Structure 1
Amino acid sequence: MTDARSDLVAAYVGLGSNLDRPREHVSRALNELDALPLTHLAGHSSLYASAPVGPQDQPDFINAVARVFTRLSPLALLDQLQALEQRHRRIRQRHWGPRTLDLDLLLYANLEWHTPRLTLPHPAMCERGFVLVPLAELAPDVALAGQTSATLAKHHDGADLHRLLP
């Protein structure tokens, strides 16, 4: 890795867990993001508890959003995030089902990208309070759908989202 910072890209990652001590999984994953190749953690939101999206027959989630600076391409970063999920014994049994760790690449600079494997910005992030509220806490001026994350987060009622104390 060179000392030049001009090729660093800011990316935002959504974290979630609702199995096997979820707060520990999210906290540990935040530290592990800083250890990814050519990547360093530049900050993260508070932790939040939220009701699950989809099937309600599962525990609530612990969520956060992290900002990283990386030299990895979007797909290389996605590969690293999925490998980190696997190290947390992520099992994909059903869509929107319970998991030990879920990592979503939300934003990668200002890139708009659509491939079968990855869409940026994340297509559902503007509809999800458990993403918008932590993102607005971390980066209130990030632009999404022509508005700032802070503006979009204000439209979320917050009934199913609770900030956790450290």
Structure 2
Amino acid sequence: MRLQAERRAVLSLGANLGDRVATIDAAVRALEAIDGIRVLERSGNWESPSWHPDGEGLSPDYVNIALLIATTMEPIDLLDATQAVEDALGRVRTQRWSPRTIDIDIVTMGGIERAEDRLVLPHPRAHQRQFVLQPWLEIEPLAVLPGQGPIAELADYADGDAWRLA
């Protein structure tokens, strides 16, 4: 693993199987334990409906959070680390849009813009997703999504719904 100067990154975590909040908490603890990752801010828990091309509500609702981290990792190494956490928490990759114990997406990382087979930065659909924007807005209200604009403005127009979990 190649290390370098620290960069800020935003991660979006979601879970819709099992004890969703406990799984999110376990994922945050696992990320904090990785050398080269420091959690700077964590949003509260948000809930959003599951989405499937055949219609909403075919799976349980998601619990979502946003994490602002500092990392010395290269983007692909951070992806490998987040996927290792997913695997450790029982993530099974069967088909797109299937329910999952945990999903960890890298939304943005140090302003890097790239498109590779395994990783596109910033996340190509983050600007369209309330379940990404609302938790992120909570911890970084003045943030800008590279190539898209201020997240506060994006949240005004993004599809979907997200609400604070009671």
Q: Which of the residues 24, 31, 37 maps onto 2:29?
A: 31
Would you say 1:64 and 2:65 are equivalent positions? yes
TM-score (norm 2): 0.90
Q: Which of the residues 19, 22, 25 maps onto 1:21?
A: 19
Task: Provide the C-alpha distance between the structure 1 equivalents of 2:106 and 2:46, rounded to a whole number of angstroms.
Answer: 18
1:157 is displaced (CA, Å) by 6.9
Paired residues of 2:128 and 2:159 also in contact (CA < 8 A):
no
Which secondary structure state, in structure 2, belongs to the residue aligned with residue 137 of structure 1? helix
* Superposition map of 1:142-161 within 5 A: 142-144=143-145, 145-156=147-158, 160-161=161-162
TM-score (norm 1): 0.90
Paired residues of 2:49 and 2:61 also in contact (CA < 8 A):
yes
Task: Provide the C-alpha distance between the structure 1 equivalents of 2:125 and 2:18, rounded to a whole number of angstroms.
Answer: 26
* Superposition map of 1:86-101 within 5 A: 86-101=87-102
Paired residues of 2:129 and 2:159 also in contact (CA < 8 A):
no
1:8 is displaced (CA, Å) by 0.7
Identity across aligned pairs (percent)?
33
Number of residue pairs the alignment of both structures matches? 159
RMSD (Å) for aligned C-alpha atoms: 1.6
1:155 is displaced (CA, Å) by 2.6
Paired residues of 2:51 and 2:58 also in contact (CA < 8 A):
no
**Unmatched segments (≥5 aa) in structure 1:** 1-5
> Larger deviation: 36-45 or 117-126?
36-45
Task: Provide the C-alpha distance between the structure 2 equivalents of 1:31 and 1:154, rounded to a whole number of angstroms.
Answer: 32
Determine the structure 2 residue equivalent to 1:3. none
